[in-house]
Structure 1
Amino acid sequence: MLTSRRRTAVIMALAALASTAAAPARQESYAAPAAVPGLTGASSLPARYSAVERGIRRALAAAEEAGDTGRLKALPGLLAPGRRFLSFDPRGHGRAVEVVGDLARAHRVAVVVPGADGLLTNFDSWKWAGGGARALHRQAAATSPGTRLAVVAWLGYDSPSTRSPAVLTGGRAEDGARGLTRFLTGLHRVNGGAGIALLCHSYGSVVCAKAAPRLGRLPVDAIALYGSPGVGVRRASALASGRSPAARIWAGRSSGDWTRFVPKVRVAGLGHGHDPAAPSFGALRFDAGSGPHSAYLRPGSRSLRNLTLIALGRDSEVTRD
């Protein structure tokens, strides 16, 4: 076990490494997205989907003009028939929020909040938001045929790079928490009867932990934190919303996840604090299997099965750690 002094040394070493490895800023080739219709109810969805699709097409044209090979490879897939996006911003590394399933008629909604290194160019990989959301939706259909579950892939914030100093601080997470709260408020206007589960991976768990105290009036009944580098509270009870009954707080870490070696401390503004997967935290711990850090939503994995059951609200069937 690391002593306090050694934990501090590790955090400082990580900060120095991230600072020296930070990628240079890229020249911006993409315009800000045009305004889209607000999420005022179920009837607002078709216009919103159409407006965002037009934004993706504009970004594809800009990628062609700029010769952006990564975007030229990724963006056509986002325009495939049947795909529906609630928001899209091509600036920087990009943001995108996709819906898989019927959001307006769903009985439950799972919101996948990704961690660091989320990009438009890797959005469709099962390791990341879009591909992971589709894997979870397929697993739900196989687990509980007929269940009306919608899954949202929420890359709605500037996901930090694991090679940047930003990943060691909560600044991006605070911005993300504000955006997530606004999004969930709009989601509730679209479908006021659906229970909501937040599935929060890695740095996304920091986002969800910062958002949790703001969700008291929203029907968020489950928050799962997995592959977490730490969260800023000591106990799971601090994350349960003010609703009655309180949200169930789940936590998991696979045995092959490198974050088990990350010191769960906060020193001089660096680090993220307490480990939600530790027994002392008081979360409901689910079996996350033995995969690596990026494999929690891998098709066929134990972690995907358990996260799907959490999303469906079938708590008694979740295998516990």
Structure 2
Amino acid sequence: MAGFDGFRFPGRQSGDEKTTRGGRWFRVLLAVLVTAAVVVPLTAAARPGIPAPAPARLAPLTAATLDETYAANRANAAEASRMAAAHGDDHRAAADRALAAPSRKLLTFDGRGDGRATEVFGDLAHADRVAVLIPGSDTSLDTYGRFRAGAAALHERLTRRTGANSRTAVVAWLGYTTPGTVSTTVVTPGRADEAAPELRELIHELHTVTGSGSRIALLCHSYGTVVCGRAAPRLDVDDIALLGSPGTGVDSAAGLHTRARVWAARGADDWVADVPHVSADLFGTTVGFGTDPLSPSFGARVFAAGDGGHSDYFSPGSVSLANLARIVLGETTEVTHA
């Protein structure tokens, strides 16, 4: 749900007002679903596909094969850029071309459709602290720049905090087809269910590269928190941070069945506060994601995110970015609380 950015709920309400109006907003949500079910398939069908090569064939990922992996994926991105340009899609061609630059470190790249990419910031082979960013809706190769900017800002903050010989790395994981802002998929767990096995595989590969002593923090934004909720029971990670979450699909942190510390934050101007945290069965599927991770009943470690909005958690100089860096570094006693 990192999309929805153009959609605004009314101003902040008191707890009683939110309770009494929750039912009405849920009806609005259902109306959006019905509209999306009709409109989105038609508009999506009208959009021509963007040609791209199949992903590069790679050796199993280890510290020794990292450079080979990066090079192969850059070459694949360069070819995807040429194909997109020949197809007349200059925007995608530019996005692919940027990913093909010699400085980019791509663990994965797939230019087909909405596209997927996994990019590394820092020296992954020697990292003992790794942050993995999980995006929300409307994140694709066409919008990848804004997602990447957040990962770069976090890496810069970590490096500044730990010094030039920092043993930290940040991984920006666009490893699943995110839901569209206005679609049935954005309020249902289907895309998260598809993404969960891919995220588990990534975490396994990261431990293979970095060794068993490395510590990994998942930083999950908006619909990405649903992905993390689905994957959590089988993830070998130390921290899971839920940012601007619409819910995770479970009633409590204990329901995630993870040994990781579970954190949650929401900026003061994040419209997700006005989304009804409900869940219901509709037409054979689950709609909505249940309990607000910031609620006392959920049991997460709630931390301060400042005055930012839904897209501001990784903004340079922000309260939320500072706290996320502390979580990644294991400086849990220094995390400031809301």
Would you say same fold, with TM above 0.5? yes
Which AA in structure 2 matches 1:133? A
* Between 281-290 and 63-72, the greater mean CA deviation after superposition: 63-72
Task: Identify the match of residue 180 of structure 1 among 192, 195, 199.
Answer: 199
Alpha-carbon distance in structure 1 between the residues aligned to 2:253 and 2:240:
10
Task: Identify the match of residue 156 of structure 1 among 164, 175, 179.
Answer: 175
Q: Counterpart in 2 of 1:119?
A: 140
Task: Specify whether residues 20 and 256 from structure 1 end up closer, same or farther in structure 2 by C-alpha distance, changes over 3 A only.
Answer: farther
- What RMSD over aligned residues (CA atoms) do the two structures have, in Å? 1.6
Q: Counterpart in 2 of 1:108?
A: 129
Structure 1 contact 98–152 (Cα < 8 Å) conserved: yes
Task: Identify the match of residue 57 of structure 2 among 28, 36, 60.
Answer: 36
More helix by share: 2
Q: Counterpart in 2 of 1:314?
A: 331
Alpha-carbon distance in structure 2 between the residues aligned to 1:87 and 1:44:
13
* Between 177-186 and 13-22, the greater mean CA deviation after superposition: 13-22
Q: Counterpart in 2 of 1:79?
A: 100
Q: TM-score, normalised by structure 2?
A: 0.88
Aligned residues: 311
User: 3-state SS of the aligned residue for 1:50?
Assistant: helix
Alpha-carbon distance in structure 2 between the residues aligned to 1:306 and 1:105:
23
Which AA in structure 2 matches 1:9? R
Q: Counterpart in 1 of 2:10?
A: none
Alpha-carbon distance in structure 2 between the residues aligned to 1:38 and 1:213:
28
* Between 28-37 and 1-10, the greater mean CA deviation after superposition: 1-10
Q: Counterpart in 2 of 1:196?
A: 216
Alpha-carbon distance in structure 1 between the residues aligned to 2:104 and 2:225:
26
* Between 270-279 and 108-117, the greater mean CA deviation after superposition: 270-279
CA shift, 1:240, in A, is: 4.7
CA shift, 1:32, in A, is: 4.8
Which AA in structure 1 matches 2:120? V
Which AA in structure 2 matches 1:124? G
Task: Identify the match of residue 279 of structure 1 among 293, 296, 303.
Answer: 296
CA shift, 1:291, in A, is: 1.1
Task: Specify whether residues 11 and 313 from structure 1 end up closer, same or farther in structure 2 by C-alpha distance, changes over 3 A only.
Answer: same
Q: Give 5+ residue unaligned stretches, structure 1.
A: none
Structure 1 contact 7–265 (Cα < 8 Å) conserved: no
Q: Counterpart in 1 of 2:14?
A: none
Structure 1 contact 18–162 (Cα < 8 Å) conserved: no
CA displacement 1:265-285 (0-9 Å, x = unmatched): 111221111111212211000
CA shift, 1:164, in A, is: 1.4
Task: Identify the match of residue 36 of structure 2 among 1, 10, 18.
Answer: 18
Which AA in structure 2 matches 1:150? A
Alpha-carbon distance in structure 1 between the residues aligned to 2:61 and 2:95:
30
Q: Give 5+ residue unaligned stretches, structure 2.
A: 1-17
Structure 2 contact 81–94 (Cα < 8 Å) conserved: no
Task: Specify whether residues 183 and 142 from structure 1 end up closer, same or farther in structure 2 by C-alpha distance, changes over 3 A only.
Answer: same
CA shift, 1:51, in A, is: 1.2
User: 3-state SS of the aligned residue for 2:126?
Assistant: coil
Q: How does 1:86-97 map to 2 (within 5 A)?
A: 86-97=107-118
Task: Identify the match of residue 56 of structure 1 among 58, 61, 77.
Answer: 77
User: 3-state SS of the aligned residue for 1:33?
Assistant: coil
* Between 12-21 and 53-62, the greater mean CA deviation after superposition: 12-21
